[in-house]
C-alpha cells in the first residue's frame, strides 16, 4: 500500500483510516457515495462526494457510486442520470463500480429468509396505526406485537406469499426481532420489508416487496467490500441497527460506519423535501435554477468544480453540525475565477456618451489585457468610436463625496482608452438623463506613455459595435441566515423577493458574440458571469455567478 499523497488537512476520519492501515486491519481503503435517486444533488452532497472519492484517491483506494434505490415511489431515472453527471462534473470517476441496491434484491431477500430461519425476523400483520402505537415513546418501552412469536414456518410462508404478490400494500410487513424496550427507537423491531406494488426504475415489476433503507444499506456496503461507510450525523443513531444486521447475519469483515457533520449553509435550505417544494410551487424555475444550492444550479450559475472542491476542503470534516457562511462558498468561486476568467467589458444599465471632439468616422482598436493574473492569456483589441455607452451608476449630476467617476466638469479615464471630461448633460422632457456630451484628451491614450492621471477609471463599450445581451443578477434566495431554523415561521415566508433581477438591455463588447453556454468571464468592475444554456442565436443570456466583493458583509456591518 502506497503512502497517501493528499495535501488535504487531516481530520478524525483520516486518523481512523491511518490507524486501520497501521494496525493492518485494512490494506485497501474502499469507500462509497450512496445517494438515493429521489432528487437532485446539492452542495451538501458535493461535500460527501469530495470526502468519499477524495479519501479513496488520497489513499490509493477505491470508491463506488451506488444508488440506494429501495423506494420505487419516489425514485426516477432522471435523478440517476443527473447524479452521474454531477459526480463526473465535480471531477470524480467510479470506473466500473456503479451499482444499485436493487442489483442486490435477490440476495437481500435471501438474507431476510435467513433472518426468519434464525428467529431474527417475523411477519407482522398489524395495521400502520397499530405499528405506530406499539412503538412506545423515547421514555416508555414499546409493546410486543401479537404476531411476534409466529412460527418460523408461518413466517416463511407469509413472506413468500408477500413476494408472490398475494397481499395488498400494508397487509403485512417483515420486522426484525430485536428489543421493543430499547432506548433507541430504531432498535424496536424495525420494519425490514414492506409491500409496495409499484414499478421500479431498475427492476420494473419484478418485485412487489421492497427492503427498507436501514436494512439494505449495511448489507450493500458489505457486499461491495466497503471498509469505511461514511455518512452524516443524523445516521449516528442508526449505527447500532447497521451493526446489528451485519452481526445477525454473521457477516465477516464488516464495514465500519463513521458519522460526520452535514453541511448547512446560511441563506439557503438543504432539505431535499424543501428544495422539491420550491420547485413544485414555482418559487424557482427548476432544480437547476441558479439560486438553488443544487450542483446543477451552481453549475448553471457559473461555479467551477475546482471552486466547490476547494470549498469542501476549507469547510473540513467535523463531528458536530454547524452553520457555514455561504460567503465562504462565494469566496471559493471568486478566488478560482479570478485566475481563470477573461476580463471583458459589459454595460448593464447603459448611458450614452457622445465624444464631441472625436472624429465622426474614426474607429480605433484599443488593446487590453485578457487577465492581469495570467499573462499567458494575452491581450485583445476592442473598437473605440465617437459614441460609447457607460454605466448609469458611473455618472452623478451632483456627485457625492468621494465619488471619483464622471460628473459635470469632471474627468475620468475610460479603461484602456482615453481620459474624458463631461461638458453637457442632455435630458428628456421628464428630466431624465438621456445622454452625456463629453470631450476626450487625445494625448492620454492608454499605452501611449501619457503621464496625466485622474482618480477614476470606468468601463465602456462602443455604441456602433456593442452586442445586446440579457443579464440575470442573482442574489441569495432567502433574507434570513437560517430560513429553516424558525419554529414560528415557514421557510417560504423568508424568500428574498429581490433574488432575481433581469436586465434585458445590456450591451457587451463584440468579442463576446462568440461566447458559448458555460463560458465564464469577469465583467470589469461588475463581477463574474457565465453564459446561460438558454442563450440562442438571437440573444446571449448571462448569469451573475458572484460579485467582485461580498456586498452582504458590508450590509451586515452598516
Active site residues: 36, 262, 272
Query: How wide is the angle at C-alpha 189 spanned by C-alphas 188 and 193, nearest 5°?
Result: 135
Best CA proximity match to 104, nearest among 216, 212, 201: 216
Best CA proximity match to 152, nearest among 178, 192, 123: 123
Distance CA 455, CA 532 (A): 35
If phi > 0 it is left, if psi is from -120 to 50 it is alpha, else beta; for residue 410 that is: beta
Distance CA 46, CA 293 (A): 10
Residue where the block lists cell 452625456 = 436
Taking each helix axis as running N to C, give the angle between helix 305-315 and helix 43-58, from 0 to 180 degrees, rounded to the nearest 10. Answer: 80
First to last CA, the chain: 55
Distance CA 243, CA 239 (A): 6
Spell out the alpha helix ranges (H) of 24-76. Answer: 43-58
Beta bridge partners of residue 474, listed in sequence order: 500
Supply the DSSP string of 510-552, one letter for each residue.
Answer: GGGGG--TT-EEEETTTEEEEE-TT--SS-EEEEEEE-SS-HH
Distance CA 202, CA 68 (A): 11
Amino acid at each position: 500500500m502506497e503512502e497517501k499523497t493528499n495535501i488535504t488537512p487531516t481530520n478524525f476520519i483520516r486518523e481512523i483510516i491511518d490507524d486501520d492501515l497501521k494496525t493492518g486491519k485494512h490494506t485497501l481503503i474502499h469507500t462509497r457515495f450512496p445517494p438515493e435517486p429521489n432528487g437532485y444533488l446539492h452542495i451538501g452532497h458535493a461535500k460527501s462526494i469530495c470526502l468519499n472519492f477524495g479519501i479513496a484517491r488520497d489513499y490509493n483506494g477505491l470508491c463506488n457510486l451506488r444508488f440506494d434505490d429501495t423506494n420505487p415511489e419516489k425514485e426516477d431515472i432522471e435523478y440517476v442520470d443527473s447524479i452521474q453527471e454531477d459526480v463526473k462534473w465535480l471531477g470524480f470517476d467510479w470506473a466500473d463500480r456503479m451499482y444499485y441496491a436493487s442489483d442486490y434484491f435477490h440476495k437481500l431477500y435471501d438474507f431476510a429468509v435467513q433472518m426468519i430461519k434464525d428467529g431474527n425476523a417475523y411477519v407482522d400483520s398489524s395495521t400502520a396505526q397499530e405499528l405506530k402505537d406499539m412503538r412506545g415513546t423515547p421514555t416508555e418501552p414499546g409493546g410486543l406485537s401479537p404476531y411476534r412469536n409466529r412460527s418460523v414456518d408461518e413466517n416463511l410462508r407469509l413472506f413468500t406469499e408477500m413476494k408472490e404478490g398475494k397481499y395488498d400494500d400494508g397487509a403485512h410487513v417483515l420486522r426484525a426481532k430485536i428489543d421493543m424496550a430499547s432506548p433507541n427507537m430504531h432498535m424496536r423491531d424495525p420494519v425490514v420489508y414492506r409491500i409496495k406494488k409499484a414499478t421500479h426504475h431498475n427492476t420494473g415489476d419484478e418485485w412487489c416487496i421492497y427492503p427498507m433503507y436501514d436494512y439494505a444499506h449495511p448489507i450493500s456496503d458489505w457486499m461491495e467490500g466497503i471498509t469505511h461507510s461514511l455518512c452524516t450525523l443524523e445516521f449516528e443513531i442508526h449505527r447500532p441497527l447497521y451493526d446489528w444486521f451485519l452481526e445477525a447475519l454473521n457477516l465477516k469483515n464488516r464495514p465500519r460506519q463513521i458519522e460526520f457533520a452535514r453541511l448547512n449553509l446560511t441563506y439557503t435550505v438543504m432539505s431535499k423535501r424543501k428544495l422539491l417544494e420550491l420547485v413544485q410551487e414555482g418559487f424557482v424555475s427548476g432544480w437547476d435554477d441558479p439560486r438553488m444550492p443544487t450542483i446543477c444550479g451552481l453549475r448553471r450559475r457559473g461555479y467551477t468544480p475546482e471552486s466547490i472542491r476547494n470549498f469542501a476542503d476549507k469547510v473540513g470534516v467535523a463531528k458536530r453540525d454547524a452553520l457555514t457562511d455561504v460567503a465562504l462558498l462565494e469566496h471559493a468561486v471568486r478566488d478560482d475565477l479570478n485566475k481563470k476568467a477573461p476580463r471583458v467589458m459589459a454595460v448593464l444599465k447603459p448611458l450614452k456618451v457622445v465624444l464631441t471632439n472625436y472624429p465622426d468616422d474614426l474607429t480605433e482598436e484599443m488593446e487590453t489585457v485578457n487577465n492581469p493574473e495570467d499573462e499567458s492569456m494575452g491581450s485583445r483589441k476592442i473598437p473605440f468610436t465617437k459614441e460609447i455607452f457607460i454605466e448609469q451608476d458611473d455618472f452623478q449630476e451632483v456627485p457625492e463625496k468621494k465619488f471619483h467617476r464622471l460628473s459635470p466638469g469632471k474627468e475620468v479615464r475610460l479603461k484602456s482608452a482615453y481620459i474624458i471630461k463631461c461638458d453637457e448633460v442632455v435630458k428628456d422632457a421628464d428630466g431624465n438623463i438621456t445622454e452625456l456630451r463629453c470631450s476626450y484628451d487625445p494625448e492620454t491614450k492608454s499605452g501611449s506613455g501619457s503621464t496625466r492621471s485622474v482618480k477614476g477609471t470606468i468601463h465602456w463599450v462602443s455604441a456602433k459595435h456593442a452586442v445586446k445581451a440579457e443579464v440575470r443578477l442573482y442574489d441569495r434566495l432567502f433574507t434570513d441566515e437560517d430560513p429553516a431554523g424558525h419554529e414560528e415561521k415557514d421557510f417560504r415566508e423568508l424568500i428574498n423577493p429581490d433574488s432575481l433581477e433581469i436586465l434585458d438591455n445590456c450591451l457587451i463588447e463584440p468579442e463576446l458574440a462568440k461566447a458559448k453556454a458555460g463560458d465564464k468571464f469577469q465583467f470589469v468592475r461588475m463581477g463574474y458571469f457565465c453564459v446561460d444554456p438558454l442563450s440562442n442565436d438571437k440573444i446571449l443570456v448571462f448569469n451573475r455567478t458572484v460579485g467582485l466583493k461580498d456586498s452582504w458583509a458590508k450590509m451586515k456591518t452598516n
